[in-house]
Amino acid sequence: MINKIGFDLHGSDKGMEEIIKGLSLYLKESNSKSEFKLFGNYQEAKDLLEKYDLHQNDKISIVSTVSVVTNDDEPTLAIRKKKNSSMIVGATALRDGEIDCFVSSGSTGTLIAAGVFIVGRIVGIDRPALAGLVPSTNKKKPTLILDLGANVEAKPIHLQQYATLGNAFMKNVFQISNPEIALLNIGTEDEKGNTFYKEVFNELSNLPINFVGNIEARDVLTTTHDVVVVDGFSGNILLKAIEGTVEVFNNQLKNQFLKNIKTKISALLIKKDLKQMKAQFDYRELGATPVFGVNKLLLKAHGSSDSLAFKNAFRSADEIIESDFMKKITEENNGIK
């Protein structure tokens, strides 16, 4: 079977070129046999494929689209009014089975709405979730955190569904036989949190998953657990707090190294090691994740992705298709209806 990967060429902060460059990098380092359908402005895409010497690759085709979804579009309106946009044409192709997977770095809100209203939800899942992969200093494989903000009016039942989805993902895509599922909370003791989180705790305890209890935000980057379940509002705050702190720290560190001749020599001596360290905290290394709860593979890439991040998004698409995750998730999900 040849994987058919659809990719939205628009909506990325850094423009289309980073995506084509990312594809070029991916094809150089992998032996992917996949077909790539690129959704976007025909002329721009064609020129860039030529620039990166990909125009004669018969595995790559352009699906010409004429409009673009932006972050300013109201999601449900965008779905109705921008039927010719790269994102909506792509989502429709996914629904119709023309591609096995569709990846977009464009407007999160519209992508989720397209997942629900065009592609469709998995039976038994009420609300989709956005997930992110974050590194941990205490294990090789990343930690999956969900929801990061797809659903900001969560009910306890939704978090129960996220736990099941996260479990299936880490099991099938990352080959972890019995993923450890933790609940983000304000303390580690079982009875911690507010009424909402206490209810979620009890519900997760009754699921046929390896629920290991509460985890605090301070331990997310050093955890040995595989999945962290959280409501979309708090999850958004968690992820952005981590990202913001890493960024401030990196900037401050850079400023210290640039201070004077002594610190500049210091920088030269440790440059390589710091680069490795930074890579460990880099979301770009970790690829794209599905919009969980949609019944086909709809992947969200970070809006500020560069070519390295897009290279990994292409890799994620191949890996997730091959993991047979969608089939497994539908099976697993029969248990939580």
Binding site for a copy of itself (CB under 8 A): 137, 149, 152-153, 184, 186, 193-195, 197, 216-222, 232-234, 236-249, 251-253, 256-257, 259, 262-263, 265-270, 273-274, 276-277, 280-281
Nearer to a copy of itself, 42 or 233 (CB): 233
* CB 291, min distance to a copy of itself, A: 17
Give the C-alpha separation, 12 to 302, whole Å.
8
200, 156 Cβ separation under 8 angstroms: yes
Nearer to a copy of itself, 259 or 327 (CB): 259
Nearer to a copy of itself, 185 or 307 (CB): 185
* CB 277, min distance to a copy of itself, A: 5
Cis-peptide into 190, omega within 30 deg: no
* CB 302, min distance to a copy of itself, A: 13
284, 313 Cβ separation under 8 angstroms: no
Give residue 294's identity as a one-letter amino acid code. V
Cα–Cα distances (Å) from 19 to 16, 107, 233, 248, in that order, read: 5, 16, 30, 27
* CB 131, min distance to a copy of itself, A: 16
The closest alpha carbon to 41, from 85, 106, 4, belongs to: 85
* CB 37, min distance to a copy of itself, A: 32
Beta-sheet pairing, 289-292 with 297-300: antiparallel
Biggest CA pair distance of the chain: 64
Environment class of 311 (CB within 10 Å of its CB; exposed 0-12, middle 13-18, buried 19+): buried
Exposure pattern of 139-168 as b/e (b: 16+ CB <10 Å)? Answer: eeebbbbbbbbbbeebebebbbbbbbbbbb
* CB 226, min distance to a copy of itself, A: 18
141, 148 Cβ separation under 8 angstroms: no
* CB 77, min distance to a copy of itself, A: 15
* CB 237, min distance to a copy of itself, A: 4
Nearer to a copy of itself, 154 or 320 (CB): 154
Q: Centre a 10 Å sphere on the Cβ of residue 35 and count the other Cβ atoms it contains.
A: 16
Nearer to a copy of itself, 157 or 237 (CB): 237
Nearer to a copy of itself, 59 or 198 (CB): 198
Query: First CA to last CA across the chain, in angstroms?
Result: 31
Nearer to a copy of itself, 145 or 176 (CB): 145
